[in-house]
Amino acid sequence: MYAVFRKEIADHLSSKRFGILFTLVLLAAMFATYVAVQNIRSVVTVDTEFVFLKIFTTSGETLPSFLSFLSLFIPMVGIALGFDAINSERASGNLSRLLSQPIYRDSLINGKFLAGLAILGIILASVIALVSGLGLRIVGVPPNSEEVLRLVAFVLLSIIYGAFWMALAVLFSVFFDRTATSMLASVALWIFFFFFVSMIAGAIADARVPIDQNSSVEMVTKNFEIEGMIGRISPCALYGEATSALLTPELGSLNMALMWISTLTGRMLTPLPFSQSLLLVWPQVVSIIALAAICFAVSYIRFMRREIRSI
């Protein structure tokens, strides 16, 4: 498997696709950092405990934060790394030649997946490190140990989230013969999860518990609960919640209603220690890991059971 892994890493690193993705993510990150630095004064007070983390979460009036940019780009990177993993080998006539070499069949899919994961890790870790470095230089406030821990957790979570999208793209590359179809299917699912699930969740919540400006707190809470529960079928929502909790320690709960109330009353909740934030996001993290594992397991089983002639 190591030979496959090595070859895939070399292929990725020398490919134009990697160059484009890396440049795109880097540009977005730089842009988001610039926006954060421009606006950070308005969100930081003398009492603010985690100034360094604000680099990642501060947005402009119209421009999104680094976190929002990353939420958008991670699925793209994951899909780009996996959508043609198997079907391109099949289409080029390489698959049967490769499998006739003394390697187990699963070495191919495992090697490809691990190489993709490594590349994902390289892209995300280096971009986040660059943004941190840039932020440190401009803001001039070094991160404390808890902020470093939160950033490490954020990197790991982002890699896991990217792994989910890559596993999904690999799954489609096993099921569909054409690379264009597998890419389209992956992008379609991303659009559904990213844009439509929140809309559907909002519509269902409003249909079940309609609210307006005069609605009671109880009604609003119920509405938000329904919306939050339905929204969590989307891995994008799970990632959004988890990263928000990790990078915003003041976020003491993922309960939308509670957040709404605290915003309404102008009271911020007490910052949670890292261990508590981790506990808070644990269900989201486990769900994303489970989704990635399911996608990979299904593609693994399908790839292993398919007859070579139809592979």
Partner 1 sequence: MEQIVETKDLTKTYNGFTAVDRLNLTIKEGEIFGFLGPNGAGKTTTLLMLLGLTEPSSGTVQVCGYNPTREPLKVKSIVGYLPEKVGFYEDLTARQNLSYTAELNNLPRREAAERISELLATVGLSQVADQEVSTFSRGMKQRLGIADIWVKKPKLAFLDEATSGIDPEGIDDVLKLVKSMGKKGITVVFCSHQLHQVQEICTRVGILAKGHLVAEGEIDRLGRRTIGGGRYRIEAQVAQLKPKLVDSIKEVKGVMEVQVSGNSLLISCDKDLRGQIAKTIVDSGSLLLGMKIEEYSLERIYKKYSKEA
Closest distance to partner 1 from the beta carbon of 94 (Å): 4
CB-nearer residue toward partner 1: 103 or 149: 103
| 290 contacts partner 1 (rule: CB under 8 A) | no
- Measured at the CA of 247, the angle between CA 55 and CA 289, to 5 degrees, comes to 130
CB-nearer residue toward partner 1: 6 or 208: 6
Q: Fill in the per-residue mask, 72 to 101: x = in contact with partner 1 (CB under 8 A), - = not in contact.
A: -----------------x--xxxxxxxxxx
CB-nearer residue toward partner 1: 7 or 41: 7
- Comparing CA positions, the residue from 279, 189, 173, 296 lying closest to residue 234 is 189
| 304 contacts partner 1 (rule: CB under 8 A) | no
Could you give the CA distance from residue 220 to residue 58 in angstroms, rounded to a whole number?
27
Q: What backbone torsions phi and psi does residue 85 show, to the nearest 5 degrees? A: -55, -50
| 309 contacts partner 1 (rule: CB under 8 A) | yes
- Comparing CA positions, the residue from 203, 208, 175 lying closest to residue 189 is 175
| 6 contacts partner 1 (rule: CB under 8 A) | yes
CB-nearer residue toward partner 1: 6 or 41: 6
Q: Fill in the per-residue mask, 219 to 258: x = in contact with partner 1 (CB under 8 A), - = not in contact.
A: ----------------------------------------
Residues 151-190 that bind partner 1 (CB under 8 A): none
- Measured at the CA of 42, the angle between CA 39 and CA 48, to 5 degrees, comes to 110
Among the candidate windows 6-14, 78-86, 252-260, 267-275, which touches partner 1 by CB under 8 A? 6-14
Segments of the chain assigned E as strands: none
Could you give the CA distance from residue 58 to residue 218 in angstroms, rounded to a whole number?
31
Instruction: Show the tokens assigned to 111.
Output: 């090697």
CB-nearer residue toward partner 1: 115 or 247: 115
| 104 contacts partner 1 (rule: CB under 8 A) | yes
| 301 contacts partner 1 (rule: CB under 8 A) | no
Q: Give, in order, the Cα–Cα distances in Å from 258 to each of 218, 224, 239.
A: 11, 9, 19
Could you give the CA distance from residue 180 to residue 183 in angstroms, rounded to a whole number?
5
Q: What residue ranges bind partner 1 (CB under 8 A)?
A: 3-4, 6-7, 11, 89, 92-104, 307-309
